[in-house]
A = this chain, B = another copy of it.
Amino acid sequence: MATQSIGEDEGIAARFAAVRALSRDIAAPLSDADATLQPHPDASPAKWHLAHTTWFFETFVLRDCVPGYALHDDRFPFLFNSYYEGEGERHARARRGMISRPSLDEVRAYRDHVDAALAAAIPGLPPEALALIELGLNHEQQHQELMLMDLKAAFFENPLHPAIWPAQAPAPVTAPSPLGWTEGRSGIARIGHDGRGFAFDCEGPAHDVLLRRHAIADRLVTNGEWRTFMDDGGYEMPALWLSDGWAWVQTEKVRAPLYWVERDSGWHRFGLDGLQPVAAAEPVMHVNYYEADAFARWAGARLPTEAEWESAAAAADPAAGHQLDAAGPVRPLPGGALFGDVWNWTASAYLPHPGFAPAEGTVGEYNGKFMCGQFVLKGASCGTPRGHSRASYRNFFYPHQRWQFAGVRLAKDL
C-alpha cells in the first residue's frame, strides 16, 4: 500500500467506526443459518467475512502493535485467516460453510471486542499501525462488497428465492439514452497510483503508457441490449467467442446472464430483493469476461484497455454515481457515470504495473500473488462502498467468474 496520509487519530477512529458499522448493517437481516452458508468455493459465508475482517485488525494491529493484547479466542486465527501463508495453517477454504460455531452472535461479540480494543488503542498507535488500520478498512470495504455478492449467490440456491430486503420501487420505464462515444486521450498518459493517499500496492507505481486513438462509450450496455444479443443468437454463434469462452457456454449450457430466470411472464433476475422482472433500461450485470468480450465483438466494438479507462477516469469523480451508501439490495440504475452501477470489464490482464513491488511483510501477500490468469475491472459497482474507489483501483476476476457485480462498457479504435 502507499504511505498512510491521513495522519490524525480522530479521522481514522471515526472512519473505523463507520466502516465497521456498515458490515454489521449488511449482516443485520441475516439469521445465524443465513450467515453460515457457503454457496460455492469462491464465495464465503457472511459470518466468515465478518470474522475474517476482524481477524485482520486483531492480528496485524492489536497482536503485532499493542503490547499485552490477548487474543479474543486463540482458536479463531485457524478459522479466519484467508490465504496468508505467512500466518500459518488455516481452515480449508472450500469447507468454510461447515462452521456453524462460533455463531453469528459470537462473531458479533468478537467484532465488539476487537472494535473496543482498537478504539482504545488508536490514540497511542504509531503511524505504521495507523497505516495498517487504513489498509484494514479498505480490506473490510472489499469484503463488504464480497459479502453482498456471496449472500446473493447463497440465497439464489434457495428455490424459495428469499428477499432479505424489500424491493425498491421500480425505476421509471425509461429507454436508455442512445449510445454515444467519447474520444479518449492519445499519446503518452500517466496512470497508476502516485502515492498520495491510500491505495493498494498493486495500483502503483504511477507510470506512463502510450495510448492510440480510441473512444469509450458514454454509458453501460443495458439489459435491453443484452436481450437483443440473446435474441440474435449471441450464445449460439462460436465465431463470437473466445475458445475457452465457447467451451464454457457449451459445458454450462449458458443462455443468459447469471441470476436470470425465465418464467412464463418473461425474464426475471434474482437479487437480494427477490425475483424481479428484468428492467430493459438498467445496465446488464453478472456477465463474465467471455460474455463481455463476445458481446463487444457482436456489437462491432471491443472492451476498453485498463489504461484507456483509467485515463478517461482521471477527470471523473470516483465518489459519484450509484454506489453503496447503506445496507440494502444492490441494483444498478440507468446513467452514464464511469464509477458506480457495475464494474467495467477491461481487455487487460491483471499483471504487475511496471516497477511494481509488493508491500513488505505478510500483508504483501495481498495482491501480487494473484497476478496470473485474471482480468482487470475498473470503476465501482452499486455494491462498492462509496469512497472506496479510485481511477487507479484494480479489481480482478477470472474470465469465467460472474457472481461479482460486473457489466460492460464498450470502446473502439478511431
Chain B CB within 8 A of A252 CB:
no
Q: In the complex, which of the residues B188, B244, B245, B370 contacts A243, with contact meaning CB atoms closer than 8 Å?
A: B370
Is there an interface contact between B399 and A373, defined as CB atoms closer than 8 Å?
yes
A113 to chain B, nearest CB (A): 18
Is there an interface contact between B154 and A100, defined as CB atoms closer than 8 Å?
yes
Interface size of A in residues (CB-CB distance below 8 Å): 62
Q: In the complex, which of the residues B78, B207, B239 contacts A212, with contact meaning CB atoms closer than 8 Å?
A: B207
* Binding stretch for chain B, among A157-165, A215-223, A328-336, A379-387: A157-165
Is there an interface contact between A37 and B100, defined as CB atoms closer than 8 Å?
yes
Q: In the complex, which of the residues B39, B207, B212 contacts A98, with contact meaning CB atoms closer than 8 Å?
A: B39
A13-51 interface code vs B (CB 8 A; 1 in, 0 out): 000000000000000000111111101000000000000
State A52–B373 Cα separation when bound (angstroms): 30
Known contacts A242-B370, A244-B373, A373-B244; is-contact A103 B188 (Cβ 8 Å): no
Write 5 A-B pairs (CB below 8 A) sorted by A numbering.
A34-B100, A79-B160, A85-B238, A188-B210, A242-B370
* Binding stretch for chain B, among A59-67, A117-125, A193-201, A347-355: A347-355
Chain B CB within 8 A of A369 CB:
yes
Q: In the complex, which of the residues B79, B243, B355, B371 contacts A413, with contact meaning CB atoms closer than 8 Å?
A: B355
Interface positions, chain A 299-321, Cβ under 8 Å from B, are none
Is there an interface contact between B210 and A159, defined as CB atoms closer than 8 Å?
no
Q: In the complex, which of the residues B35, B208, B246 contacts A33, with contact meaning CB atoms closer than 8 Å?
A: B35
Is there an interface contact between A354 and B399, defined as CB atoms closer than 8 Å?
no
Q: In the complex, which of the residues B33, B95, B209 contacts A210, with contact meaning CB atoms closer than 8 Å?
A: B209
Known contacts A157-B95, A208-B210; is-contact A33 B100 (Cβ 8 Å): yes
Chain A residues at the B interface, C-beta cutoff of 8 Å: 31-37, 39, 75, 78-79, 83, 85-86, 91, 95, 97-104, 154, 157-160, 162, 188, 207-210, 212, 238-239, 241-246, 289-290, 293, 347-349, 351-352, 354-355, 365, 369-373, 399, 413
State A290–B369 Cα separation when bound (angstroms): 11
Known contacts A36-B37, A349-B351, A413-B355; is-contact A162 B101 (Cβ 8 Å): yes
State A245–B369 Cα separation when bound (angstroms): 9
A214 to chain B, nearest CB (A): 9
Chain B residues within 8 Å of A347, by CB: 351-352
Is there an interface contact between B98 and A154, defined as CB atoms closer than 8 Å?
yes
Chain B residues within 8 Å of A239, by CB: 85-86, 365
State A238–B83 Cα separation when bound (angstroms): 11
Which residue, of A100, A158, A238, has the highest number of chain B Cβ atoms within 10 A? A100
State A341–B161 Cα separation when bound (angstroms): 43
Chain B residues within 8 Å of A371, by CB: 242
Q: Which residue of B lies closest to A368 (CB)?
A: B242
A102 to chain B, nearest CB (A): 8
Chain B residues within 8 Å of A373, by CB: 244, 373, 399
State A275–B33 Cα separation when bound (angstroms): 24
Is there an interface contact between A241 and B369, defined as CB atoms closer than 8 Å?
yes
Q: In the complex, which of the residues B98, B158, B188 contacts A101, with contact meaning CB atoms closer than 8 Å?
A: B158
Is there an interface contact between A372 and B289, defined as CB atoms closer than 8 Å?
yes
